[in-house]
């Protein structure tokens, strides 16, 4: 009896809540508030109404026909997607910008979950950086087996991370091409939303080269694939596959006011993700190639001000001293329209075009200056200003509660300093107690130049007495502070 009463109460409350939500939805609808605005100006005869054609007829008119089913694509991909658990060991409240776009906040919980994609048969797995962020222990679950995973590397600029588990003969996913992916193509999102493992949803590619300004890192790279395939919390790090079940993207975010799917999801293109993953596996760090410039979008106002006939391309806003662009003769306000023959429509396509190259690669850049087109060859540089592969020096210290790393060439140019050690990955520790935070740059310690992260870190760990630290805040302001250290 009480069970029946409980069911009635649940149904009643559900109806009340549903009515309230529906009323709220209608109250925001412009037609509900002003129906006259949407009234038809004339009646349309039924003979002129176009009915939806049968699927067979539609298939004849579509470049990417409506499939009979998604069975083959599902079978080719679901076995290659894993379930990931992130054990932080502490309160892992996550009030990041991803909470707004992806609804992944895990307030007052010590375990958060996500998805990953098997990249190789010997146990390398691609996922999102925010899925494994701040993890003390990571577990990967595949076909009911649980593996302890080690973090090979991560990149906040693209939100890509690589894990490794000790296993062989894993079903590595087939890699497709995001560059060949067309708007309007069918795609499937494969992952573990709401801890529901091996879930598949379908939709189409809604847009490419989309920027939604959610990436962290010093050089955020956003050129998302936008899709209406339903993506929800837990899908992060999962697979976006084409109709053949080939990987075309790594699901990363959704645009949502509720934290759940309400329309569009975003995935890192697979061509970018695999380049990042291969770099992390081979070098332990992403080998970013830079042209030595900073750029900005072309707005209608800028186009009018500069007398530009098109909004396509990007404007050079800053030329880095001794960088590749400066050496080639490029200047501020040059408008880049092509890279190696690929047309540049905006920041997304510019960043994606560059993301496939390595330091030392030569590219042809076509730009417009005062109405005239010019083409120059640039030799791309690494983050330290050279042209070779780099392994950036860093020192991680539990006592200091941070990772110390050398600053790059762009930061040297930006702040006007020849060297420095930057603080990142802050947790509770010595540097936090001294008042430092992520992004602070130490230039001198007790009047000695701070060039080597390990030397600086070990000195701070062992020093006692009067300590003086000089440097720059994340905003670029100089500081000099003295401390009495026991």
Instruction: Measure CA of the first residue to CA of the last residue in the chain; give whole Å.
Output: 70
Centre a 10 Å sphere on the Cβ of residue 425 and count the other Cβ atoms it contains: 15
Q: What is d(CA 8, CA 20) in angstroms, rounded to the nearest whole number?
A: 18
Kindly name the residue from 99, 155, 159, 279 that is annotated as catalytic: 159
**Active-site residue 130, yes or no?**
yes
Among 327, 323, 443, CA closest to 383: 323
Q: Convert 301-329 into a string of H (helix), E (strand) and C (coil).
A: HHHHHCCCCCCCCEEEEEECCCCHHHHHC
Among 409, 243, 398, 202, CA closest to 326: 409
**Active-site residue 23, yes or no?**
no
Q: What is d(CA 191, CA 114) in angstroms, rounded to the nearest whole number?
A: 8
Centre a 10 Å sphere on the Cβ of residue 87 and count the other Cβ atoms it contains: 14
Q: Which residues partner with 365 through β-bridges?
A: 339, 376
Q: What is d(CA 74, CA 25) in angstroms, rounded to the nearest whole number?
A: 35
What DSSP string describes 380-439? -B-TTSSSS-----EEEETTTTEEEEE--HHHHHHHT-S--EEEES--SSHHHHTT--TT
Centre a 10 Å sphere on the Cβ of residue 453 and count the other Cβ atoms it contains: 23
Kindly name the residue from 80, 99, 130, 334 that is annotated as catalytic: 130
Kindly name the residue from 236, 256, 355, 397 that is annotated as catalytic: 236
**How big is the CA angle at 173 (ends 167 and 178), to the nearest 5 degrees?**
140
- Strand residue runs (E) in 221-307: 224-227, 239-241, 247-255, 264-269, 293-297
> Taken in order 405, 409, 410, 414, is the CA torsion positive or negative?
positive
What is the number of helices (H) and of strands (E) in the chain?
Answer: 13, 25
Q: What is d(CA 384, CA 355) in angstroms, rounded to the nearest whole number?
A: 17
Centre a 10 Å sphere on the Cβ of residue 85 and count the other Cβ atoms it contains: 19
**Active-site residue 236, yes or no?**
yes
8 A C-beta contact, residue 66 and residue 58: yes
403's tokens = 């990772």
Q: Which residues are identified as catalytic?
A: 130, 159, 236
């Amino acid at each position: 009896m009480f069970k029946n009463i409980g069911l009635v109460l649940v149904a009643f409350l559900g109806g009340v809540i549903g009515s309230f939500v529906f009323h709220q939805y209608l109250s925001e609808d412009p037609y509900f508030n002003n129906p006259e605005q949407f009234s038809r100006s004339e009646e349309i005869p039924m003979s002129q109404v176009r009915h939806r054609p049968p699927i067979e007829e539609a298939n004849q008119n579509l470049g990417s026909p409506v499939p009979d089913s998604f069975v083959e694509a599902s079978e080719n991909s679901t076995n290659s997607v894993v379930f990931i658990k992130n054990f932080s060991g502490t309160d892992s409240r996550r009030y990041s910008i991803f909470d707004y776009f992806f609804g992944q906040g895990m307030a007052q919980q010590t375990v958060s979950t996500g998805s990953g994609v098997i990249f190789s048969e010997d146990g390398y797995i691609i996922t999102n950086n925010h899925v494994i962020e701040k993890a003390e222990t990571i577990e990967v679950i595949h076909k009911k087996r649980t593996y302890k995973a080690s973090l090979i590397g991560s990149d906040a600029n693209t939100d890509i991370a690589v894990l490794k588990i000790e296993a062989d003969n894993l079903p590595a996913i087939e890699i497709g091409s995001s560059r060949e992916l067309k708007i309007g193509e069918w795609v499937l999102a494969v992952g573990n939303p709401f801890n529901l493992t091996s879930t598949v949803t379908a939709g189409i590619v809604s847009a490419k080269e989309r920027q939604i300004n959610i990436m962290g890192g010093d050089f955020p790279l956003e050129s998302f694939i936008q899709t209406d395939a339903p993506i929800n919390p837990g899908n992060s790090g999962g697979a976006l596959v084409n109709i053949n079940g080939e990987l075309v993207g790594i699901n990363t975010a959704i645009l949502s006011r509720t934290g759940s799917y309400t329309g569009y999801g975003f995935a890192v293109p697979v061509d970018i993700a695999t380049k990042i993953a291969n770099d992390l596996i081979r070098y332990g760090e992403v080998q970013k190639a830079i042209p030595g410039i900073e750029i900005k979008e072309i707005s209608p106002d800028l186009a009018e001000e500069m007398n530009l006939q098109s909004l396509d391309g990007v404007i050079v806003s800053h030329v880095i001293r001794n960088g590749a662009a400066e050496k080639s003769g490029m200047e501020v306000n040059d408008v880049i329209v092509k890279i190696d023959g690929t047309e540049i429509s905006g920041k997304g396509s510019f960043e994606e075009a560059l993301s496939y190259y390595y330091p030392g690669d030569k590219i042809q850049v076509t730009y417009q200056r005062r109405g005239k087109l010019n083409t120059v060859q640039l030799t791309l540089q690494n983050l330290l200003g050279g042209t070779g592969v780099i392994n950036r020096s860093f020192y991680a210290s539990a006592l200091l509660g941070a990772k110390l790393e050398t600053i790059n060439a762009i930061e040297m140019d930006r702040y006007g300093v020849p060297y420095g050690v930057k603080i990142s990955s802050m947790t509770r520790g010595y540097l936090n107690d001294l008042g430092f935070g992520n992004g602070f740059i130490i230039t001198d310690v007790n009047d000695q130049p701070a060039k080597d992260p390990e030397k600086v870190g070990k000195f701070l760990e062992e020093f006692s007495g009067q300590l003086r630290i000089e440097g720059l805040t994340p905003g670029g302001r100089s500081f000099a502070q003295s401390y009495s250290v026991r």
